[in-house]
Structure 1
């Protein structure tokens, strides 16, 4: 996941300064698990302008340095749409920040994009849990140092594995639920019926 597309996704919502972007990552966006420092943002913004994907206006601030407020250009919108509709490759690790970023910044462009991302991620995770040996961690032979009791080590390994398994199971359930909601929304969009959320259902 490139920072360029994160910034384009943010600018698709409203004009922002680099400082505003950092505040979003530290605030509402922190649950995604993708944090960057302000200097990284400031290094990328000139590249977006040079590519024609963003433009800025200087916003005078009383008692503070003037701020550059960036907005998306038509070319930037085209780049964001091309990225959002490009093939999504799931990470080997479940619940990776790359998926959450793709889900948020590509998915916000519409239910059809969201459905494709979710289906790809869900199919990949289900295939993972069906792989032979995924639960067979106890078959590994142990020859521990004297300080480790093999039976207790097995107990700890089982607990750790159960933690990962339960998280993965919950993640797959979330993917299934969210995909079902996105498919309903996509169906309503295709039928030209506005989607107003579950509270509008009959």
Structure 2
């Protein structure tokens, strides 16, 4: 996920300044797990203008520096649509910001974009969920310092992996529920079987 696409997605909603973008990232955006610093935003905005994807007006501010308020151009709209239509490749890490941002900013262009991203993400998670041997700690090949109890270490590893397993199971359930809801609202038949919990087949 490139910052350019995040900014184009925000500009598709309304004209914004660089400071507005940072405020969004500090507010609603922080729940998506994506964070950039204000200098990165200010470096990216001129590149969008140079590419013909955005343009700006100067908003005079009394007693403060004038602000540049950016808006999306026709070229920026085309770039956003091209990105939304490009193949989405899931990250090995569940709930990666790339998925969250693609789902939000590509999905806001229409149900077909959000549904396509959800289907791809869900299929990938189900294919890799609970892979054989993922909780086998007997072959860690430990050679620890004297302070470490290997039995205790294995218990800690198990607890940490159980947390990841439970989090991924909940994430898959959310993907299933959201996909079923959006498909229903779009008048589409269910394309995936409902998630039935850990220990069941989920084709």
Contact preservation (8 Å) 2:59, 2:67: yes
Unaligned runs of 5+ in 1: 189-202
Aligned-partner Cα distance in 2 for 1:160–1:133: 15
The answer as to 2:39 corresponding to 1:39 is: yes
- Superposition RMSD on alpha carbons, in Å? 1.3
Give how far 1:140 is off.
Answer: 2.7
Per the alignment, do residues 138 and 100 of structure 1 end up closer, same or farther by CA in structure 2, a change over 3 Å counting? farther
Contact preservation (8 Å) 2:53, 2:79: yes
User: Counterpart of 2:92?
Assistant: 92
The answer as to 2:64 corresponding to 1:64 is: yes
Give how far 1:7 is off.
Answer: 0.2
The answer as to 2:128 corresponding to 1:159 is: no
User: Counterpart of 1:52?
Assistant: 52
Unaligned runs of 5+ in 2: 189-203
Helix, strand or coil for the counterpart of 1:135? coil
Q: Deviations over 1:134-186 (max 9, x none)?
A: 33334434332221112211211111111110111111111111111111122
Contact preservation (8 Å) 2:59, 2:69: yes
Which moves more between the two structures, 137-146 or 86-95? 137-146
Give how far 1:130 is off.
Answer: 5.0
Compare the two structures and name the one with the higher helix fraction: 1
Per the alignment, do residues 91 and 7 of structure 1 end up closer, same or farther by CA in structure 2, a change over 3 Å counting? same
User: Counterpart of 1:14?
Assistant: 14
- Counting matched residue pairs gives 188
Summarize the alignment of residues 162-181 of structure 1 with structure 2, pairs less than 5 Å apart: 162-181=162-181
So what's the TM-score if we normalise by structure 1? Answer: 0.89
Instruction: Show structure 1 runs of 4+ deviating over 4 A.
Output: none
Give how far 1:133 is off.
Answer: 2.2
Summarize the alignment of residues 136-147 of structure 1 with structure 2, pairs less than 5 Å apart: 136-147=136-147
